[in-house]
């Protein structure tokens, strides 16, 4: 089932995802090297900060996130973001930041994503049930044929 509310890049990315286990995904590009999304986390985070704060973005990251001026300038100018910077941003901004990043990167909210996962699992469950019904029907037919072949004496 294709979710057309998700940007094409994110849909293509799903095609490049390899299922490892029921709960973990390995994200690789089609060539095995490139990250498949159009925006990096750094780009998305920088864009969100610039949209929200316009000309105060660098100052905000220094004051609220606790970044030094060089790191803040590098983040706002080049979208370079380290794990440490992401952690500082997360502690400062809270869950709203992760929600906004999800929308920015994937074009849908986490609730929309989970709804899609639930729909996909329900569809898979229905396909499995239909397959089971089909197998039971085949089993019944095979049993009838065996009875016929065994004849009335069996």
Q: Is 120 left (phi over 0), alpha (psi -120 to 50) or beta?
A: alpha
Q: How confident is the model at residue 70 (pLDDT cuts 50, 70, 90)?
A: very high
Asked whether the whole model's pTM tops 0.75, one would answer no
Work out the burial of residue 117: count CB atoms within 10 Å of its CB; fewer than 13 is exposed, 13-18 middle, 19 or more buried.
Answer: exposed
Nearest Cα to Cα of residue 6 among 105, 99, 101, 97: 105
Q: Given a cut of 80, is residue 81 above it in pLDDT?
A: yes
pLDDT at 104 (0 to 100): 87
Q: What is the pLDDT of residues 100-143, one digit of tens each?
A: 998 888 888 889 999 999 999 999 999 999 999 999 999 999 99
Q: Of all helices (H) and strands (E), which one includes residue 14?
A: helix 8-15
Residue ranges of domains in the chain = 1-38, 40-107, 109-154
Q: What is the pLDDT of residues 13-64, one digit of tens each?
A: 444 444 444 444 444 444 444 444 578 899 999 999 999 888 899 999 999 9
């Amino acid at each position: 089932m294709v979710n057309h509310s998700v940007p094409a890049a994110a849909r293509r990315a799903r095609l490049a995802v390899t299922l490892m286990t029921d709960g973990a995904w390995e994200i690789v590009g089609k060539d095995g090297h490139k990250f498949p999304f159009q925006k990096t986390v750094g780009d998305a985070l920088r864009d969100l900060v610039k949209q929200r704060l316009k000309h105060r973005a660098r100052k905000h990251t220094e004051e609220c996130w606790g970044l030094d001026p060089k790191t803040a300038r590098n983040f706002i100018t080049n979208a370079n973001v380290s794990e440490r910077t992401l952690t500082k941003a997360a502690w400062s901004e809270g869950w709203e930041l992760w929600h906004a990043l999800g929308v920015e990167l994937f074009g849908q909210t986490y609730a929309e994503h989970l709804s899609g996962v639930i729909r996909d699992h329900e569809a898979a469950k229905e396909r499995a049930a239909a397959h089971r019904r089909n197998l039971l029907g085949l089993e019944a037919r095979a049993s009838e044929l065996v009875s016929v072949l065994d004849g009335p004496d069996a």
